[in-house]
């Protein structure tokens, strides 16, 4: 990819950000060559902010990071398309997109979104974040928590309280995603194994 930055004033090329799961356009920003290189190297969308007059990584203050899944250029090599997983609302107003549109995900896509939130909170600076605290306690504590949640789910399965059962199921699934992240994996790795077994 060879973006023609010199075509634009201040060498800032437009960068369209698209949700990797839903295909919804999330926002438009501008990148110079340095911003693009940082985006590719770190896997987090980084723009050149014209108001701040510096590189600005989306989510550096809010925690609503855009995790890069693909970087493409158009046919003229003068516009950038980035497919990303957003960890939270994209717009500073709190909306899903900068056009105030809903970014609706299918249930499976929402799990990918939650994985992005986990990664963002893990790397963030909010010491009050539950995710940050769990990772601070280490792998053994995270694995132990998965076991505890599994036992609680089994206990609730023996009763007929639907709300409590589903609540424990959600707790187990969330902590399972934490454990996968702590081991350096994601849900797609597990899905790939299931797909291979299904094909046998």
With a cut of 80, say whether residue 109 has pLDDT above it: no
CA dist 137 and 195 (Å) reads 33
pLDDT tens by residue, 77-96: 999 999 999 988 999 999 99
Q: What is the pLDDT of residue 97?
A: 96
Q: How far is CA 44 from CA 12, 81, 119, in A?
A: 18, 14, 11
Question: Which domains are delineated in the chain?
Answer: 5-86 (3.10.20.810), 126-199 (1.10.287.1080)
Percent of the chain with pLDDT over 70: 100
> What percentage of the chain has pLDDT greater than the value 90?
79
Q: What is the pTM of this model?
A: 0.61
The pLDDT value given to residue 200 = 84
| Distance separating alpha carbons of residues 158 and 152, to the nearest angstrom | 10
What dihedral angle (degrees, nearest 10) is formed by the CA atoms of 72, 75, 80, 81? -50
Mean pLDDT of 109-127: 86
């Amino acid at each position: 990819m060879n973006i023609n930055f010199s075509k634009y004033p201040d060498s800032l090329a437009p960068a369209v950000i698209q949700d990797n799961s839903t295909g919804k356009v999330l926002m438009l920003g501008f990148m110079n060559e340095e911003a693009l290189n940082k985006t590719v190297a770190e896997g987090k969308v980084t723009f050149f902010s014209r108001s701040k007059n510096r590189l600005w990584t989306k989510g550096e203050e809010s925690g609503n990071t855009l995790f890069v899944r693909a970087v493409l250029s158009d046919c003229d090599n003068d516009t950038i398309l980035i497919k990303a997983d957003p960890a939270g609302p994209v717009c500073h107003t709190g909306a899903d997109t900068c056009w105030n549109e809903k970014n609706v995900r299918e249930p499976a896509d929402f799990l990918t979104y939650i994985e992005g939130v986990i990664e963002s909170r893990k790397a963030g600076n909010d010491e009050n974040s539950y995710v940050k605290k769990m990772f601070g306690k280490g792998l053994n504590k995270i694995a132990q928590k998965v076991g505890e949640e599994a036992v609680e789910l089994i206990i609730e399965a023996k009763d007929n309280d639907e709300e409590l059962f589903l609540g424990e199921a959600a707790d187990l699934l969330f902590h399972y995603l934490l454990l996968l992240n702590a081991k350096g994996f994601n849900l797609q790795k597990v899905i790939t194994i299931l797909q291979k077994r299904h094909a046998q």
